[in-house]
Structure 1
Amino acid sequence: MTGAVRRVLTRRARGRKTPYRDKVRARMVLLAARRWSNAAIAAEVGVTVDTVRTWRGRFAAQGLAGLADRARSGRPTRFTPVQVAQVKALACQVPARAGAPLSRWSCPELAREAVAQGVAEAMSASTVWRWLAREAIRPWQYRSWLFPRDPDFAAKAGRVLDLYERRWEGRRLGSGEYVISSDEKTSIQARCRCHPSLPPGRARMMRVNHEYERGGAVAYLAAYDVEQARVFGRCAPTTGIVPFMALAEQVMTCEPYASAKRVFWVVDNGSSHRGKTAIDRLAARFPNAVMVHTPVHASWVNQVEIFFSVVQRKVVSPNDFTDLAEVEQRLADFEKRYNATAKPFQWKFTRRDLHDLLTRISEHERQDAPAELPHAV
């Protein structure tokens, strides 16, 4: 036995995370290297003499590779590949379309349905789970989504994505041009808990009382500079044209935006800034401001939504405020903290990704379209 092999076996024999069978085999070989007899090794390790003889022989013939388990044929399969494919195909169907009064499949329900449809006489939920896990099929999970219904979706979204890459109408933006992403986070409530929240402790998470009294709600308007990761925010009792124009006034009257050549405002189609009227209103007040709308139902293109998700996680949840004044103060303090340390978001969705997305959606629409029936003769 070489020194390298001895070190490997010693680590196996002493390792805390080594599987028990590998630890026992390593100990048997190490004791055999010290010229112990098979009977003495069996008594020391707690196995039979035949077991010691087997593993000593395998190590002598193959070295470390001989201490691994050999391939086993295993128990004969009870289900044919056709039955496995039938269960997977059933899992890839909406339960209601398959005739089951369910919203989502679970492994026990799939096993029960497969037996009911005559796929097999009996089937366990764990067996179904193993089949689905191999293909990463999870019919018990779901995610909502929307088909783009804006006829100019590609053009509108493409303009916004170009701005994130500092391009506008095929030209690079200059040093005196900025991109602002803006929106409103509505209905931030002040929930005054009936009992004070308990701080976390050892083996105990933070605890928030379930009962609360409503202290009103406030809207948080924010404008996010996508290049400088700078946020301008303000609170208002509700959203609307007046609060949005107040936010625009807050941004456009400070440098470098007041003297900028152009400032592009990326907004969604909310009532506060919808349509050409909003574009003209902003341009009339600030001639260097250019409003750019995202497509309908495409707020995910607006980068300020990422900032709002940060606010939701770090400021609003869990919601435990005494009144609206505390909500507004917390938001203002967090805004200062964020601006001191924030870095621009690593936006990676480009026009090429948009083209691929729209292509996949078109393919879904084509597949889901009902087949045309032949005309009667």
Structure 2
Amino acid sequence: MVFKRTKPHIVLSSEQKAYLEKITKSGKSEKREYDRARIILMDADGKGVNTIARELHTNRTKVYLTIDKALSFGVETALKDLSGRGKKRTIGNEERAFIIRTACTKPSDLGYPHEIWTNRLLTKYIRENAPEEYDLKSISNGTVSKILTRSNIRPHKIRYYMEKTDPEHERKEAEVLHVYREVKTIREEGSGKLTALLSYDEKPGIQAIGNIYPDKQPDEKHGYISRNHDYKRNGTLSLMAGIDLITGQIIPLVEERHRSLEFVKWLELVDRYYPDDYKITIIMDNHSVHTSKETMKYLSSRPWRFNFVFTPTHASWLNIIEMFFSKMARSMLRGIRVDSKDELKNRMLEYIQEINNEPVIFTWKWKMDEMPGG
């Protein structure tokens, strides 16, 4: 059965049409005013309700209400909300303060075993413990949620932060940034210094996970890789890598462990990589193997060859090599399956070789403008 429209289309004067078109073209119009102006213009052009709702990605009810209001009260009135619209606010400032104050208190401090609030638990507490004069006995979960959202309070979420516990944080941070400043100067102006500047870290515990049943590649029926949940563990490997901050070349070493023995082995690899007259500066974190007896013994055998610059405690994000590890984890290592640790090692080294064939030079920008000459 076909339903015929009984109401006439809106008729606009030239001034009204120009006014509405100005609203739709202005970037400062409120969205609801903009939407209503579009609805009125399209109805005046003879378009049906279904067509308007579809083209404006809205619902038929909204279109009907706007058209009815324009026909009953005029175009300008249809753009605004009628007076008395909406439910009057019934929860006062004191009640809202009580709700927010409660949400900012740990549930465990109020006798619950919970560490953080759920919306239902918080609402239950408010209903049962709000003062009688607040009249919150029947407050809904949705109302509590809206009050907290408007106040930007989210007691059901945890966002972690890192406390600065290193008393030498500023000094170490400045030393790292000075290395990045030197890198920038060498790239832009060149340098007569025989120096190498590296960023180093370890990525331990890379799992060599193997499939028990083979993967099924995408086809016309299933547009994604199908993988069985069962798998086998073939052990883990540790990647030790340093990136040359001038050339972007990565110097890797893959071993089963990452003790002082393996770290010294990586230093020997770096020692062979650069000419004997180069001074090698390496940015690294405060891992114990970097200052162990074995490491110090090796460094004493190569006096003036190496210079270690340590990042502040819990500030490994200052180390550029972390960007490479993140990229590697999100691309090459993501979902990887291998039959052995040897296969995993070979594929990691192959990936790094591909990077070295077209090296990516990372540029550090944070706080560089605050450095001398920035």
Q: Tell me the TM-score normalized by structure 2.
A: 0.72
Equivalence for 1:210: 229
SS at match of 1:123: coil
Equivalence for 1:241: 260
Of 197, 216, 220, 1:198 maps to 216
Distance 1:149 1:46 in 2: 62
Q: 1:295 to 1:141 in 2, by over 3 A?
A: same
* Matched-pair contact (CA < 8 Å) for 1:180–1:224: yes
Equivalence for 2:323: 306
Of 169, 175, 178, 1:162 maps to 178
SS at match of 1:249: helix
Q: State the shift of 1:21 in Å.
A: 6.0
Q: State the shift of 1:77 in Å.
A: 1.1
1:63-212 correspondence runs (5 A): 66-70=77-81, 72-73=83-84, 74-118=86-130, 120-166=136-182, 174-176=191-193, 177-200=195-218, 204-212=223-231
Determine whether 1:26 maps to 2:38: no
Q: State the shift of 1:52 in Å.
A: 5.9
Determine whether 1:321 maps to 2:332: no
Distance 1:244 1:49 in 2: 75
Q: 1:283 to 1:226 in 2, by over 3 A?
A: farther
SS at match of 2:210: strand
Equivalence for 1:272: 289
Q: 1:299 to 1:31 in 2, by over 3 A?
A: closer
Of 219, 240, 244, 2:238 maps to 219
Which structure 1 residue ranges, 5 or more long, are not aligned? 13-17, 33-44, 354-377
Distance 1:139 1:326 in 2: 46
Identity of aligned residues (%): 22
Distance 1:5 1:107 in 2: 49
Q: State the shift of 1:341 in Å.
A: 4.8
Equivalence for 1:364: none
TM-superposition CA deviations, 1:67-123 (whole Å, max 9, x none): 413354421112112222222222223332343321222322222222232162122
- Please provide the CA RMSD for this pair: 3.8
Residue identity opposite 1:306 in structure 2: M
Distance 1:285 1:302 in 2: 25
Distance 2:82 2:70 in 1: 20
**Range with greater deviation from structure 2 (198-207 or 93-102):** 198-207
* Matched-pair contact (CA < 8 Å) for 1:108–1:124: no
Equivalence for 1:258: 275
Q: State the shift of 1:328 in Å.
A: 1.0
**Range with greater deviation from structure 2 (144-153 or 85-94):** 144-153
SS at match of 2:107: coil
Q: 1:111 to 1:211 in 2, by over 3 A?
A: same
Equivalence for 1:5: 18
Aligned length: 323
* Matched-pair contact (CA < 8 Å) for 2:40–2:66: no
Q: 1:308 to 1:7 in 2, by over 3 A?
A: same
Equivalence for 2:302: 285
* Matched-pair contact (CA < 8 Å) for 1:223–1:247: no
Distance 1:100 1:111 in 2: 14
* Matched-pair contact (CA < 8 Å) for 1:220–1:234: yes
Equivalence for 1:360: none
Q: State the shift of 1:285 in Å.
A: 2.6
SS at match of 1:316: coil
Distance 2:333 2:347 in 1: 9
Distance 1:285 1:253 in 2: 12
Distance 2:105 2:370 in 1: 31
Which structure 2 residue ranges, 5 or more long, are not aligned? 1-12, 26-31, 48-62, 184-188
TM-superposition CA deviations, 1:38-81 (whole Å, max 9, x none): xxxxxxx98999756325xx23xx4xxx5413354421112112
